[in-house]
Amino acid sequence: MENTLGIGLVRQPNTVLFGPGQRRQLGRIAASMGKSVLIVTDERMAGTDSFADMVADLTAQGLTVDSFTEALPDLPRSNVLAVAERFGANPPDLIVGLGGGSCMDLAKACSVVLRFGGDVRDYFGEFAVPGPTVPTIAIPTTGGTGAEVTNLAIVFDDEKQMKMAIADASIVPDVAIIDPELTVTCPPGLTAATAADALSHLVEGFTARPKNPSPDQLATEVYVGKNRITDVFCEEGLRLMNRSLGTVVETPSDLAARSDVMFAAYCAGMVINTTGTAAAHAIQSPMASIGHTPHGIGVGALLPYVMRANQPYAREEFARMADILGVGGGLESLDDKGRAAIARIEELLAAAGVPLELESLGVSEAHFDQIARSAVTARRLVLNNPAPLTEDFVKKLLARGVANDRSWWAAP
Protein backbone atom coordinates (compact mmCIF):
# COMPACT_ATOMS: atom_id res chain seq x y z
CA MET A 1 0.00 0.00 0.00
CA GLU A 2 2.78 2.43 -0.86
CA ASN A 3 3.07 4.75 -3.85
CA THR A 4 6.83 4.33 -4.12
CA LEU A 5 6.98 6.24 -7.41
CA GLY A 6 5.26 9.28 -5.94
CA ILE A 7 3.16 9.28 -9.09
CA GLY A 8 0.11 11.44 -9.66
CA LEU A 9 -2.38 10.82 -12.46
CA VAL A 10 -5.94 11.71 -13.39
CA ARG A 11 -7.76 11.59 -16.71
CA GLN A 12 -10.28 14.36 -17.13
CA PRO A 13 -12.41 16.48 -19.50
CA ASN A 14 -10.91 19.51 -21.21
CA THR A 15 -13.40 21.74 -19.38
CA VAL A 16 -15.40 21.25 -16.19
CA LEU A 17 -17.96 23.92 -15.36
CA PHE A 18 -19.55 23.63 -11.92
CA GLY A 19 -22.20 25.68 -10.17
CA PRO A 20 -25.90 26.46 -9.83
CA GLY A 21 -27.36 27.71 -13.10
CA GLN A 22 -24.33 26.80 -15.22
CA ARG A 23 -26.46 24.69 -17.60
CA ARG A 24 -27.31 28.03 -19.22
CA GLN A 25 -23.79 28.07 -20.67
CA LEU A 26 -24.57 25.02 -22.82
CA GLY A 27 -25.48 26.89 -26.01
CA ARG A 28 -22.34 29.00 -26.13
CA ILE A 29 -20.08 26.07 -25.33
CA ALA A 30 -21.75 23.80 -27.88
CA ALA A 31 -21.59 26.48 -30.60
CA SER A 32 -17.81 26.50 -30.24
CA MET A 33 -17.72 22.75 -30.92
CA GLY A 34 -19.91 22.32 -34.00
CA LYS A 35 -23.10 23.13 -35.88
CA SER A 36 -25.26 20.09 -35.16
CA VAL A 37 -25.96 18.43 -31.83
CA LEU A 38 -27.66 15.25 -30.67
CA ILE A 39 -29.06 15.23 -27.12
CA VAL A 40 -29.47 11.79 -25.55
CA THR A 41 -31.65 11.66 -22.44
CA ASP A 42 -34.55 9.78 -20.90
CA GLU A 43 -38.28 10.31 -21.18
CA ARG A 44 -38.65 11.95 -17.76
CA MET A 45 -35.95 14.53 -18.38
CA ALA A 46 -37.24 15.23 -21.91
CA GLY A 47 -40.53 16.40 -20.42
CA THR A 48 -39.00 19.05 -18.15
CA ASP A 49 -38.78 22.80 -18.57
CA SER A 50 -35.00 22.54 -18.15
CA PHE A 51 -34.75 20.32 -21.22
CA ALA A 52 -36.91 22.68 -23.27
CA ASP A 53 -34.79 25.63 -22.15
CA MET A 54 -31.56 23.89 -23.16
CA VAL A 55 -32.94 23.00 -26.59
CA ALA A 56 -34.03 26.62 -27.05
CA ASP A 57 -30.57 27.83 -25.99
CA LEU A 58 -28.85 25.54 -28.49
CA THR A 59 -31.21 26.62 -31.26
CA ALA A 60 -30.69 30.29 -30.46
CA GLN A 61 -26.95 29.75 -30.91
CA GLY A 62 -27.60 28.50 -34.45
CA LEU A 63 -27.22 24.77 -33.87
CA THR A 64 -29.35 22.10 -35.48
CA VAL A 65 -30.75 19.99 -32.63
CA ASP A 66 -31.86 16.35 -32.70
CA SER A 67 -32.77 14.28 -29.67
CA PHE A 68 -33.01 10.67 -28.56
CA THR A 69 -35.22 10.53 -25.48
CA GLU A 70 -35.54 6.79 -24.94
CA ALA A 71 -32.50 6.16 -22.74
CA LEU A 72 -33.17 3.42 -20.20
CA PRO A 73 -31.64 2.61 -16.80
CA ASP A 74 -28.72 0.16 -16.81
CA LEU A 75 -27.96 1.28 -20.36
CA PRO A 76 -28.97 -1.57 -22.68
CA ARG A 77 -27.00 -2.28 -25.84
CA SER A 78 -30.29 -1.89 -27.73
CA ASN A 79 -30.24 1.84 -26.91
CA VAL A 80 -26.84 2.23 -28.59
CA LEU A 81 -28.01 0.24 -31.60
CA ALA A 82 -31.13 2.42 -31.89
CA VAL A 83 -29.11 5.65 -31.89
CA ALA A 84 -26.67 4.25 -34.45
CA GLU A 85 -29.51 3.19 -36.74
CA ARG A 86 -31.32 6.51 -36.46
CA PHE A 87 -28.39 8.90 -36.72
CA GLY A 88 -25.52 6.86 -38.18
CA ALA A 89 -26.04 8.03 -41.76
CA ASN A 90 -25.66 11.67 -40.76
CA PRO A 91 -23.75 11.87 -37.46
CA PRO A 92 -23.91 15.08 -35.40
CA ASP A 93 -20.93 17.28 -34.76
CA LEU A 94 -21.33 16.71 -31.03
CA ILE A 95 -23.40 14.72 -28.54
CA VAL A 96 -24.88 15.95 -25.26
CA GLY A 97 -25.54 13.33 -22.58
CA LEU A 98 -28.17 14.76 -20.22
CA GLY A 99 -29.35 12.76 -17.22
CA GLY A 100 -28.07 10.07 -14.90
CA GLY A 101 -25.16 7.74 -15.46
CA SER A 102 -26.91 5.68 -18.14
CA CYS A 103 -27.70 8.76 -20.24
CA MET A 104 -24.13 10.00 -20.05
CA ASP A 105 -22.76 6.53 -20.76
CA LEU A 106 -25.07 6.36 -23.78
CA ALA A 107 -23.54 9.59 -25.08
CA LYS A 108 -20.03 8.19 -24.62
CA ALA A 109 -20.84 4.85 -26.25
CA CYS A 110 -22.55 6.57 -29.17
CA SER A 111 -19.60 8.92 -29.61
CA VAL A 112 -17.56 5.83 -30.52
CA VAL A 113 -20.09 4.02 -32.70
CA LEU A 114 -21.15 7.14 -34.61
CA ARG A 115 -17.50 7.95 -35.39
CA PHE A 116 -16.13 4.48 -36.18
CA GLY A 117 -19.21 2.37 -37.01
CA GLY A 118 -19.72 -1.26 -36.14
CA ASP A 119 -21.35 -2.66 -33.01
CA VAL A 120 -20.70 -1.30 -29.54
CA ARG A 121 -19.41 -4.78 -28.68
CA ASP A 122 -16.42 -4.07 -30.93
CA TYR A 123 -15.15 -1.57 -28.36
CA PHE A 124 -15.66 -3.43 -25.09
CA GLY A 125 -12.48 -3.75 -23.04
CA GLU A 126 -9.55 -1.45 -22.35
CA PHE A 127 -8.21 0.94 -24.99
CA ALA A 128 -10.12 -0.66 -27.88
CA VAL A 129 -11.25 2.69 -29.35
CA PRO A 130 -9.17 3.56 -32.47
CA GLY A 131 -8.91 7.30 -31.80
CA PRO A 132 -10.78 10.53 -31.09
CA THR A 133 -14.56 10.14 -30.98
CA VAL A 134 -17.48 12.48 -31.66
CA PRO A 135 -17.06 15.32 -29.11
CA THR A 136 -19.34 15.06 -26.09
CA ILE A 137 -20.77 17.29 -23.38
CA ALA A 138 -22.00 15.56 -20.21
CA ILE A 139 -24.63 17.17 -17.97
CA PRO A 140 -25.53 15.10 -14.89
CA THR A 141 -28.92 15.35 -13.21
CA THR A 142 -28.00 13.13 -10.24
CA GLY A 143 -25.20 13.46 -7.70
CA GLY A 144 -23.60 10.06 -7.72
CA THR A 145 -22.17 8.23 -10.70
CA GLY A 146 -19.47 10.71 -11.71
CA ALA A 147 -20.01 9.54 -15.31
CA GLU A 148 -19.65 13.15 -16.48
CA VAL A 149 -15.88 12.86 -16.06
CA THR A 150 -15.10 9.14 -16.38
CA ASN A 151 -13.48 7.15 -19.17
CA LEU A 152 -16.03 4.34 -18.84
CA ALA A 153 -19.30 3.56 -20.59
CA ILE A 154 -21.10 0.66 -18.92
CA VAL A 155 -23.42 -1.16 -21.31
CA PHE A 156 -25.76 -4.04 -20.47
CA ASP A 157 -25.58 -6.54 -23.30
CA ASP A 158 -29.23 -7.53 -23.27
CA GLU A 159 -28.62 -10.56 -25.50
CA LYS A 160 -25.78 -11.95 -23.39
CA GLN A 161 -27.35 -10.75 -20.12
CA MET A 162 -24.16 -9.22 -18.77
CA LYS A 163 -22.66 -5.80 -18.17
CA MET A 164 -19.70 -4.83 -20.32
CA ALA A 165 -17.63 -1.65 -20.53
CA ILE A 166 -15.86 0.57 -22.98
CA ALA A 167 -12.83 1.67 -20.97
CA ASP A 168 -10.77 4.22 -22.85
CA ALA A 169 -9.42 7.71 -22.28
CA SER A 170 -10.81 8.66 -25.70
CA ILE A 171 -14.37 8.67 -24.35
CA VAL A 172 -13.85 11.06 -21.44
CA PRO A 173 -16.36 13.86 -22.17
CA ASP A 174 -14.81 16.95 -23.68
CA VAL A 175 -16.91 19.16 -21.41
CA ALA A 176 -18.75 18.47 -18.16
CA ILE A 177 -21.39 20.98 -17.06
CA ILE A 178 -22.33 20.20 -13.46
CA ASP A 179 -25.33 22.19 -12.28
CA PRO A 180 -26.67 21.26 -8.82
CA GLU A 181 -30.01 22.91 -9.60
CA LEU A 182 -30.76 19.99 -11.92
CA THR A 183 -30.71 17.58 -8.95
CA VAL A 184 -33.28 19.41 -6.80
CA THR A 185 -36.17 17.50 -8.40
CA CYS A 186 -34.35 14.16 -8.24
CA PRO A 187 -36.61 11.60 -6.46
CA PRO A 188 -35.58 10.89 -2.83
CA GLY A 189 -34.80 7.22 -3.47
CA LEU A 190 -32.56 8.03 -6.41
CA THR A 191 -30.88 10.84 -4.46
CA ALA A 192 -29.99 8.41 -1.68
CA ALA A 193 -28.85 5.60 -3.98
CA THR A 194 -26.60 7.80 -6.12
CA ALA A 195 -25.10 9.52 -3.07
CA ALA A 196 -24.32 6.12 -1.54
CA ASP A 197 -22.67 5.11 -4.81
CA ALA A 198 -20.48 8.22 -4.79
CA LEU A 199 -19.54 7.62 -1.15
CA SER A 200 -18.50 4.07 -2.00
CA HIS A 201 -16.39 5.38 -4.90
CA LEU A 202 -14.55 7.70 -2.52
CA VAL A 203 -13.94 5.00 0.11
CA GLU A 204 -12.81 2.38 -2.40
CA GLY A 205 -10.70 4.90 -4.31
CA PHE A 206 -8.95 6.11 -1.16
CA THR A 207 -8.16 2.56 -0.02
CA ALA A 208 -7.38 1.08 -3.46
CA ARG A 209 -3.97 -0.39 -4.10
CA PRO A 210 -1.25 1.95 -5.41
CA LYS A 211 0.16 -0.02 -8.34
CA ASN A 212 3.31 1.94 -9.18
CA PRO A 213 2.60 1.48 -12.90
CA SER A 214 5.22 1.22 -15.63
CA PRO A 215 5.03 3.46 -18.72
CA ASP A 216 3.53 0.55 -20.66
CA GLN A 217 0.83 0.07 -18.03
CA LEU A 218 -0.03 3.76 -18.06
CA ALA A 219 -0.54 3.54 -21.82
CA THR A 220 -2.58 0.33 -21.87
CA GLU A 221 -4.45 0.03 -18.57
CA VAL A 222 -7.30 2.17 -17.27
CA TYR A 223 -6.97 1.37 -13.58
CA VAL A 224 -3.40 2.15 -12.57
CA GLY A 225 -3.89 2.63 -8.84
CA LYS A 226 -4.44 5.30 -6.23
CA ASN A 227 -1.93 8.13 -6.31
CA ARG A 228 -1.17 11.62 -5.05
CA ILE A 229 -3.76 13.37 -7.20
CA THR A 230 -6.60 10.90 -6.64
CA ASP A 231 -6.05 11.19 -2.88
CA VAL A 232 -6.62 14.96 -3.10
CA PHE A 233 -10.00 14.40 -4.76
CA CYS A 234 -10.87 11.65 -2.27
CA GLU A 235 -10.18 13.85 0.72
CA GLU A 236 -12.31 16.73 -0.58
CA GLY A 237 -15.13 14.41 -1.60
CA LEU A 238 -15.23 12.65 1.77
CA ARG A 239 -15.21 16.00 3.59
CA LEU A 240 -18.20 17.23 1.58
CA MET A 241 -20.14 13.99 1.97
CA ASN A 242 -19.53 14.08 5.70
CA ARG A 243 -20.96 17.59 5.86
CA SER A 244 -23.97 17.29 3.58
CA LEU A 245 -25.09 13.74 2.78
CA GLY A 246 -27.57 13.62 5.65
CA THR A 247 -28.92 17.06 4.81
CA VAL A 248 -29.52 16.33 1.14
CA VAL A 249 -31.61 13.29 2.06
CA GLU A 250 -33.56 15.07 4.81
CA THR A 251 -34.00 18.38 2.95
CA PRO A 252 -33.84 17.75 -0.81
CA SER A 253 -34.45 21.43 -1.60
CA ASP A 254 -31.25 22.51 0.21
CA LEU A 255 -29.19 23.76 -2.73
CA ALA A 256 -26.00 24.14 -0.68
CA ALA A 257 -26.19 20.49 0.37
CA ARG A 258 -27.03 19.46 -3.20
CA SER A 259 -23.95 21.37 -4.37
CA ASP A 260 -21.74 19.65 -1.81
CA VAL A 261 -22.92 16.16 -2.73
CA MET A 262 -22.71 16.85 -6.45
CA PHE A 263 -19.18 18.20 -6.10
CA ALA A 264 -18.29 15.14 -4.02
CA ALA A 265 -19.68 12.91 -6.79
CA TYR A 266 -17.54 14.80 -9.31
CA CYS A 267 -14.50 14.24 -7.09
CA ALA A 268 -15.36 10.55 -6.91
CA GLY A 269 -15.59 10.34 -10.69
CA MET A 270 -12.16 11.89 -11.01
CA VAL A 271 -10.84 9.27 -8.60
CA ILE A 272 -12.28 6.09 -10.10
CA ASN A 273 -11.11 7.14 -13.55
CA THR A 274 -7.66 6.10 -12.37
CA THR A 275 -8.07 3.93 -9.27
CA GLY A 276 -11.17 2.02 -10.29
CA THR A 277 -13.47 0.57 -7.67
CA ALA A 278 -12.91 -2.63 -5.72
CA ALA A 279 -14.61 -5.40 -3.73
CA ALA A 280 -17.96 -3.72 -3.06
CA HIS A 281 -18.51 -3.15 -6.78
CA ALA A 282 -17.15 -6.55 -7.81
CA ILE A 283 -19.57 -8.31 -5.44
CA GLN A 284 -22.56 -6.06 -6.06
CA SER A 285 -22.76 -6.77 -9.78
CA PRO A 286 -23.65 -10.48 -9.45
CA MET A 287 -25.61 -9.76 -6.27
CA ALA A 288 -27.87 -7.37 -8.19
CA SER A 289 -29.18 -10.23 -10.35
CA ILE A 290 -30.71 -11.79 -7.22
CA GLY A 291 -32.61 -9.00 -5.51
CA HIS A 292 -32.51 -6.41 -8.34
CA THR A 293 -31.41 -3.82 -5.80
CA PRO A 294 -30.39 -0.39 -7.17
CA HIS A 295 -26.65 -0.24 -7.68
CA GLY A 296 -25.94 2.48 -5.10
CA ILE A 297 -27.97 0.72 -2.40
CA GLY A 298 -26.22 -2.58 -3.12
CA VAL A 299 -22.68 -1.24 -2.91
CA GLY A 300 -23.64 0.81 0.15
CA ALA A 301 -24.98 -2.27 1.93
CA LEU A 302 -21.79 -4.18 1.18
CA LEU A 303 -19.46 -1.37 2.19
CA PRO A 304 -19.49 -1.96 6.00
CA TYR A 305 -18.25 -5.51 5.50
CA VAL A 306 -15.80 -4.67 2.74
CA MET A 307 -14.30 -1.90 4.89
CA ARG A 308 -13.86 -4.25 7.85
CA ALA A 309 -12.18 -6.84 5.64
CA ASN A 310 -9.88 -4.26 4.06
CA GLN A 311 -8.95 -2.22 7.13
CA PRO A 312 -6.06 -4.49 8.24
CA TYR A 313 -4.54 -4.08 4.77
CA ALA A 314 -5.05 -0.29 4.56
CA ARG A 315 -4.57 0.83 8.16
CA GLU A 316 -3.01 4.21 7.39
CA GLU A 317 -5.65 5.09 4.81
CA PHE A 318 -8.56 4.30 7.13
CA ALA A 319 -6.86 6.19 9.96
CA ARG A 320 -6.42 9.22 7.72
CA MET A 321 -10.08 8.91 6.75
CA ALA A 322 -11.02 9.31 10.43
CA ASP A 323 -9.25 12.68 10.52
CA ILE A 324 -10.97 13.79 7.29
CA LEU A 325 -14.36 12.82 8.72
CA GLY A 326 -13.66 14.55 12.04
CA VAL A 327 -13.80 11.42 14.20
CA GLY A 328 -10.11 10.79 14.79
CA GLY A 329 -9.55 13.23 17.64
CA GLY A 330 -8.21 11.69 20.87
CA LEU A 331 -7.54 8.33 19.26
CA GLU A 332 -3.92 7.25 19.04
CA SER A 333 -3.72 3.85 17.36
CA LEU A 334 -4.24 3.42 13.63
CA ASP A 335 -6.75 0.64 14.26
CA ASP A 336 -8.88 2.72 16.64
CA LYS A 337 -8.95 5.59 14.18
CA GLY A 338 -9.76 3.26 11.30
CA ARG A 339 -12.68 1.78 13.21
CA ALA A 340 -13.98 5.26 13.98
CA ALA A 341 -13.84 6.10 10.27
CA ILE A 342 -15.76 2.94 9.35
CA ALA A 343 -18.40 3.70 11.98
CA ARG A 344 -18.84 7.22 10.58
CA ILE A 345 -19.21 5.93 7.01
CA GLU A 346 -21.92 3.58 8.33
CA GLU A 347 -23.70 6.54 9.90
CA LEU A 348 -23.69 8.32 6.54
CA LEU A 349 -25.00 5.23 4.77
CA ALA A 350 -27.75 4.84 7.35
CA ALA A 351 -28.69 8.50 6.88
CA ALA A 352 -29.17 7.74 3.19
CA GLY A 353 -31.51 4.89 4.07
CA VAL A 354 -29.10 2.15 2.99
CA PRO A 355 -29.72 -1.17 4.81
CA LEU A 356 -26.54 -2.17 6.63
CA GLU A 357 -27.12 -5.88 6.14
CA LEU A 358 -27.71 -8.10 3.12
CA GLU A 359 -30.66 -10.32 3.99
CA SER A 360 -33.18 -7.57 3.19
CA LEU A 361 -31.67 -7.41 -0.32
CA GLY A 362 -32.70 -11.00 -0.98
CA VAL A 363 -29.27 -12.57 -0.39
CA SER A 364 -29.07 -15.88 1.43
CA GLU A 365 -26.48 -18.61 1.91
CA ALA A 366 -27.86 -20.39 -1.15
CA HIS A 367 -26.50 -17.55 -3.30
CA PHE A 368 -22.98 -17.38 -1.87
CA ASP A 369 -21.26 -19.71 -4.35
CA GLN A 370 -22.91 -18.06 -7.36
CA ILE A 371 -22.02 -14.53 -6.25
CA ALA A 372 -18.44 -15.42 -5.26
CA ARG A 373 -17.67 -17.21 -8.53
CA SER A 374 -18.85 -14.23 -10.55
CA ALA A 375 -17.30 -11.55 -8.34
CA VAL A 376 -13.74 -12.82 -8.69
CA THR A 377 -14.00 -12.77 -12.49
CA ALA A 378 -14.01 -8.95 -12.37
CA ARG A 379 -10.23 -9.01 -12.45
CA ARG A 380 -9.66 -5.26 -12.77
CA LEU A 381 -11.66 -4.68 -9.59
CA VAL A 382 -10.19 -7.67 -7.76
CA LEU A 383 -6.67 -6.35 -8.33
CA ASN A 384 -7.65 -2.96 -6.89
CA ASN A 385 -8.78 -4.35 -3.54
CA PRO A 386 -6.26 -4.11 -0.67
CA ALA A 387 -7.24 -7.51 0.77
CA PRO A 388 -6.81 -10.57 -1.48
CA LEU A 389 -10.19 -11.21 -3.07
CA THR A 390 -10.79 -14.96 -3.42
CA GLU A 391 -14.03 -16.94 -3.70
CA ASP A 392 -13.65 -18.10 -0.12
CA PHE A 393 -13.06 -14.53 1.06
CA VAL A 394 -16.22 -13.33 -0.74
CA LYS A 395 -18.37 -16.12 0.71
CA LYS A 396 -17.18 -15.40 4.25
CA LEU A 397 -17.80 -11.68 3.74
CA LEU A 398 -21.34 -12.39 2.48
CA ALA A 399 -21.99 -14.56 5.52
CA ARG A 400 -21.04 -11.64 7.77
CA GLY A 401 -23.37 -9.38 5.80
CA VAL A 402 -26.35 -11.72 5.94
CA ALA A 403 -25.80 -12.20 9.67
CA ASN A 404 -25.53 -8.41 10.12
CA ASP A 405 -22.25 -9.05 11.93
CA ARG A 406 -20.61 -5.66 12.20
CA SER A 407 -18.47 -6.50 15.18
CA TRP A 408 -14.75 -5.80 14.85
CA TRP A 409 -13.34 -8.94 13.29
CA ALA A 410 -9.78 -9.28 12.01
CA ALA A 411 -10.78 -11.28 8.92
CA PRO A 412 -14.10 -12.38 7.44
Digit-coded pLDDT (tens) for 365-383: 999 999 999 999 998 899 9
pLDDT at 410: 83
Note the pLDDT tens digit of each residue in 214-226: 999 998 999 999 9
Residue 289 scores a pLDDT above 90: no
**pLDDT tier for residue 232 given thresholds of 50, 70 and 90:** very high
User: In which band, very low, low, confident or very high, does the pLDDT at 13 lie, cut at 50, 70 and 90?
Assistant: very high
* Ranges of CATH 1.20.1090.10 domains, the chain: 188-402
* Residue 394, Cβ density class (10 Å: 0-12 exposed, 13-18 middle, ≥19 buried): buried
Q: Which of helix, strand or coil describes residue 198?
A: helix
pTM of the predicted protein model: 0.95
Q: Is the pLDDT of residue 199 over 90?
A: yes
pLDDT over threshold 90, residue 1: no
> At CA 50, angle to CA 46 and CA 56, rounded to 5?
90
pLDDT score at 262: 96
SS3 3: coil
When pLDDT is averaged across residues 114-138 and rounded to a whole number, the result is 96
Mean pLDDT of 338-366: 96
Residues of the chain with CATH 3.40.50.1970: 22-178
Q: Which three-class secondary structure state does DSSP give residue 238?
A: helix
pLDDT in tens, 382-397: 999 999 999 999 999 9
Higher per-residue confidence, 138 vs 410 = 138
Predicted confidence (pLDDT) at residue 122 exceeds the cutoff of 90: yes
Whole-angstrom distance, CA of residue 246 vs CA of residue 242:
8
Select the more confidently predicted residue: 111 or 380: 111
pLDDT for residue 152 is more than 90: yes
Separation of alpha carbons 335 and 117, rounded Å: 53
Q: What is the pLDDT of residue 145?
A: 87
User: CATH number of the domain at 188-402, please?
Assistant: 1.20.1090.10
Q: Share the mean pLDDT of the chain.
A: 95
In CATH terms, 22-178 corresponds, of 3.90.1150.10, 3.40.1360.10, 3.40.50.1970, 3.30.70.1530, to: 3.40.50.1970
Report d(CA 41, CA 262) in Å as an integer.
19
Alpha-helical runs (H) found in 88-227: 101-116, 188-206, 215-220
Residue 205 confidence (pLDDT): 97
Taking each helix axis as running N to C, give the angle between helix 188-206 and helix 295-310, from 0 to 180 degrees, rounded to the nearest 10: 30
Instruction: Tell me the mean pLDDT in the region 237-246.
Output: 97
Model confidence at 84: pLDDT above 90: yes
pLDDT band for position 344 (50/70/90)? very high
Using CB atoms within 10 Å of the CB of residue 163, give its burial: 0 to 12 exposed, 13 to 18 middle, 19+ buried: middle
For 208-217, letters b (16+ CB in 10 Å) and e give: bbbbebeeee
In the prediction, which pLDDT does 63 show?
Answer: 98
Mean pLDDT along residues 54-83 = 97
Alpha-helix runs per DSSP H in 223-333? 228-250, 255-275, 279-291, 295-310, 315-324
Q: At a CB cut-off of 8 Å and minimum separation 6, what does 96 contact? A: 26, 30, 37, 38, 39, 40, 54, 107, 136, 137, 138, 139
Mean pLDDT for the stretch of residues 9-26 = 96
3-state SS assignment for residue 98: strand
